[in-house]
Structure 1
């Protein structure tokens, strides 16, 4: 079998390195992100695959400092509610740093577009494929950010109804991620939740089967 379409070794290694070294970052150092770099990251996100070519992602760049503070307040409220829901692990959870909204250079809110019900191709039995498509866009951005030497964190601690109202997202649209982007002093050697002892990555063999569950 020929490998005519394979990248050269250096580029293949770069792809796997970005995947292996990508981290959900919560610690940032001050500094704005170059506009050309940000455009490259957004372009990478927009090049993601989407079911039925629906392209359900919408990106809202948060430029207002007061608005960023309001988003921080929503995240903090959900952080406390999550701790309450975790019961005996609540106190442990509250000690974790779960976001870097005030320190990062850029905040982006990623939302599902409105009017998604008109897209049936690939979603008739699996309507959640719109969210899967948005997740692919976020992962594209995450890997591109790592390649650019920038940290990115995905914040999901918020009430989507409240955040939608705050940002004027139309009915039917839904925010699914707050992304923190910025410069870092270093990248974590392992995922932060592993370093903090919250959870450990499973062994690949436990997640792969043949022919049946």
Structure 2
């Protein structure tokens, strides 16, 4: 059987999916259907990876104590980040909602397994960072699959990676790449929230392509 044919309508819908993938921070507390979540994780597993290493390791964080500890890490990092701006910018920073840790029904931590033997090290001897980049690709696949099914995803980067790794008690070779909040969005927007709330101007430059 040959490859599928993607018609103009599909390409239009795919472009719309990219536009509506936005980082979500405002979630409803309704539970996420388990089959839908599993389908999104299956899509993540189809991501490309260096040497077919598939180094992603997803951890669902359901324990209330662990969730609270992650939220405390966010609070510390968020306060420290605000203190790095001048008074005016810091005041604006504090008005931004930068995580949905208390509302999102699903928390997923995505780790890179640096000790994976899958792929036998192929393709990463000179660029070992491609192992972590592969996890980022899996996160993006998960994100698009979730958005296509009506779920929102928020990537929380204002965290202490070592603290989160310890909180989740994962193997020492696992490196935190992403902490994701997942659930149904409270509101829908195709523009970035940081532009909408005046943190930065709209970026109209498009994709940068440099010729050499």
TM-score in terms of structure 1 length: 0.90
SS at structure 1 position matched to 2:153: strand
Aligned pairs (5 A) from 1:1-213: 6-88=5-87, 89-115=89-115, 120-199=121-200, 200-204=202-206, 207-210=208-211, 212=212
Q: 1:48 to 1:93 in 2, by over 3 A?
A: same
3-state secondary structure, aligned to 2:97:
coil
Could you tell me how far apart the structure 1 residues matched to 2:110 and 2:85 are?
26
Displacement of 1:102: 1.0
Alpha carbon RMSD of aligned pairs, Å?
1.9
DSSP-derived class of the 1:204 partner: coil
Q: Which runs of 5 or more structure 2 residues have no equivalent in the other structure?
A: none
Q: Is the 8 A contact 2:53 2:117 kept in 1?
A: no
1:197 CA displacement: 1.9
DSSP 3-state at the match of 1:73: helix
Gaps of 5+ in 1: none
Alignment TM-score, normalising by the size of structure 2: 0.90
2: distance between equivalents of 1:184 and 1:167? 26
The 2-side partners of 1:202 and 1:209 are apart by: 17
Q: Deviations 1:147-191 (Å, cap 9, x if unpaired)? A: 111111000111111111111122221112110011123212311
